[in-house]
Structure 1
Amino acid sequence: MEVVFLNRLSKRNEHGYESFAQVWIGQHEGIWSAGWSTHHGLDENTDDLWYEGSLWQELLHVYRHELALKMAEGYRPLINGVFHDQGGGAGRGQTRQKLYCYSDLYPRDDVYEQLTMWRRQKAAAERKAPYFIATNRLLRLISVYLPHTEEELLELPGMGQGKVSQYAKELLAITTQNDRATPFPLSWVTEALEEEVFLSWMYKQKENQYRQELNKFSLTKTIIEGISEDLSLEQIGMKAGLHRREMIEAVEHLDRDGFDMEKLICKELINVSEEEQAAIWSAYEELGDTLLKPVMLQVYGEEKAAETGLDQVYERLRLIRIRFRHQEASDRHVG
């Protein structure tokens, strides 16, 4: 095997003892591999093969995820640049990240519960999704730092002037009822966090990010391979461990990412009559493709849709919508 990348890492425990390991990427006759080797002294090592296969992109996804886990445990590389990614420069947004880190390490769950209850009530009253009111991350920041004024609210990432104008009075009514031990402005957070603690937290965030990317890549690979093998949506879903609704969502995402889903769509709509497909298409032309319920009501009506099965009806609508949007995009391009 030809080693194309090798880096040494070390980790120091609470007693000051330093342990060492190596991470590597190799290639042999078109087969890529990546792994980890932990040194136990003298010539004793423990090897862990992370990946072996023909796809470089798949190797990178596995490599980044596994390496982030190791670095979250405290391993640090002798040479920087171990992730092989296109991330931004070091230090960009670091102040914001430290605010997030501190709020994760020192949570105020009692206040957070008060804020999430307020958000649920506000979302119901305004008929909005809760995350449109405030994200979990923002509520966590508010619960930990406990701003007492509008100016202090504005110091928190994600709390713009618009949200302050709408919700400051209600949020401050909650935060000012709770004692706080830390002041504003929040410049003290940077010094309060030990660098190693912050780095481990950052690598844990990377691990979460890379795990999501790896899962997305694996699902994409499973779907594309399933289409090439002429499998049905149900069969691909069984291989991927997903229900049909989740599979339809994945197909929509892949289509938006530029993958050709037409072969699978044809297979899934083979038992849907041309008249029914034409009626759905006409409804999209008349009503637009943003909302599915008006299209469902116009084509089927509530009674017929219930007889057919709502899940099945909405599945057909979503598959035909993919085609419809392609045609719309093609017409705009020609125009």
Structure 2
Amino acid sequence: MRIVFLNSLEKKDGGATAGDAQVWIGEEDGVWRMGWNESTGEEESETIWYEGGSWSEMLHIYRHRLVIKLGEGYRPVIEGIWDEREEFHGRGMAAQRLICYSELHENETLYNELCGWRRKKASAERKAPYLIASNRLLRLISVFRPHTVDELLQLPGVGENKAAEYGTELLALTAAQAGERPGEFPLDWVERDIDDDTFRSWMYRQKEAKFRMEMEKFSLRRQALEAMAQGGNLEGICERTGLERRDAVELLEQFEKDGYTTEALVQLELQDMPAEEKSSIWQAFEELGDAFLKPVLQRAYDQETIETANLDRLYERIRLLRLSYRRHKDQAQKAG
């Protein structure tokens, strides 16, 4: 096997080296392999992270797995995995340090009280709770416990409107809790209180969730494309990916935007659809455009059908036929 990438990492504990590791990528006969070799004391282990033919899939797994290790405290001996200056000393890092501190020094009692207040407020105003305040904002308020509107405004996520609308109630909750605050406002002391390595590990853990979602999304797309290439139908994609039919159709729409063709699957799904029904929908697209589905539904079907038929099924047919319509329109524009 030919090694095409290798980087060494080490983990410190109180200044002493607590572990050494290497992350590597190799290739042999068109097959990529990627792994992690770790040495802790006298114990050595090797874990294969990936083995297959997709460079793109391997890179997604590489970023996800590596950021987990960085979150555990491993640091590259040779820099270059990410641009450290951009990641940890760029714009917005002051706010990130406040969030980091609030998650490392939780005040669960006040946080739970704030969550209860948000729940009641959301119910009374018929809003989603996150529109009142995010979990992170409530965590910040619970830890730093602002006493004035000016202090409340210094927390990331609080603007003039939110302070005016909810500030009085929030400050009443923070003032009611006894005991000293961890520090006074302004909160510039937080940057001095959190050492760089602790902050980096926390930031890497945030990235882990992001990269995991990207990896799962990539894997889902690959499974759907493989099902299409094998001549599968919409139900086959759903079984393979775990998606609902509506989400699977949305994925097909994204494939078309990305340059893939879904025509074979569309024809398979609509093979039993009456030609008159197809024609009515096609004509509605030509007259009304293809941006909105409801006007097309109302033009193509009579009111009795709309009231008695499965609406999800009707909309699914319209969305599938819209894929063909848009492809036909694009081809006509290019030819003209």
Q: Could you tell me the TM-score, scaled by structure 1's length?
A: 0.80
Cross-structure match for 1:135:
134
Q: How does 1:10-89 map to 2 (within 5 A)?
A: 10-13=10-13, 16=16, 18-40=18-40, 45-82=44-81, 88-89=86-87
Cross-structure match for 1:196:
197
What CA deviation, in whole Å up to 9, does each residue of 1:230-279 have, x standing for no partner?
A: 21121122122333244234334445555444443343333333444555
Cα 1:205–1:285 shift into 2, 3 Å: farther
Task: Quote the offset at 1:193 in angstroms.
Answer: 1.9
The residue matched to 2:26 in structure 1 has which SS? strand
Contact 1:98 1:189 (C-alpha < 8 Å) held by counterparts: yes
| Higher Rg | 2
What is the letter of the counterpart of residue 155 of structure 1?
Q
Cα 1:194–1:31 shift into 2, 3 Å: same
The residue matched to 2:33 in structure 1 has which SS? strand
Cross-structure match for 2:110:
111
Which blocks of at least 5 consecutive residues in structure 1 are unaligned? Answer: none
Cα 1:272–1:151 shift into 2, 3 Å: farther
Counterpart CA distance in 2 for 1:125 and 1:260 is 48
What is the letter of the counterpart of residue 38 of structure 2?
T
Counterpart CA distance in 1 for 2:228 and 2:121 is 44
CA RMSD, 1 decimal: 3.8
Contact 2:97 2:191 (C-alpha < 8 Å) held by counterparts: yes
The residue matched to 1:18 in structure 2 has which SS? strand
Cross-structure match for 1:91:
89
Q: How does 1:240-319 map to 2 (within 5 A)?
A: 240-255=241-256, 259-277=260-278, 279=280, 282=284, 289=291, 304-305=305-306, 307-319=308-320
Task: Quote the offset at 1:159 in angstroms.
Answer: 2.1
The residue matched to 2:46 in structure 1 has which SS? strand
Task: Quote the offset at 1:308 in angstroms.
Answer: 3.2
Cα 1:112–1:273 shift into 2, 3 Å: farther
Cα 1:186–1:261 shift into 2, 3 Å: farther
What CA deviation, in whole Å up to 9, does each residue of 1:30-86 have, x standing for no partner?
A: 2222111112567x7321111112222111111111111112222111112225x89
Counterpart CA distance in 1 for 2:109 and 2:70 is 31
Which blocks of at least 5 consecutive residues in structure 2 are unaligned? Answer: none
Contact 1:283 1:298 (C-alpha < 8 Å) held by counterparts: no
How much identity, in percent, do the aligned residues show? 44
Counterpart CA distance in 2 for 1:332 and 1:132 is 43
The residue matched to 2:176 in structure 1 has which SS? coil
What CA deviation, in whole Å up to 9, does each residue of 1:140-191 have, x standing for no partner?
A: 3233323233222222222223333443334334333334613221112112
Q: Could you tell me the TM-score, scaled by structure 2's length?
A: 0.80
Task: Quote the offset at 1:217 in angstroms.
Answer: 0.8
Cross-structure match for 1:8:
8
Cross-structure match for 1:225:
226
Counterpart CA distance in 1 for 2:313 and 2:25 is 46
Cross-structure match for 1:146:
145
Cα 1:268–1:64 shift into 2, 3 Å: same
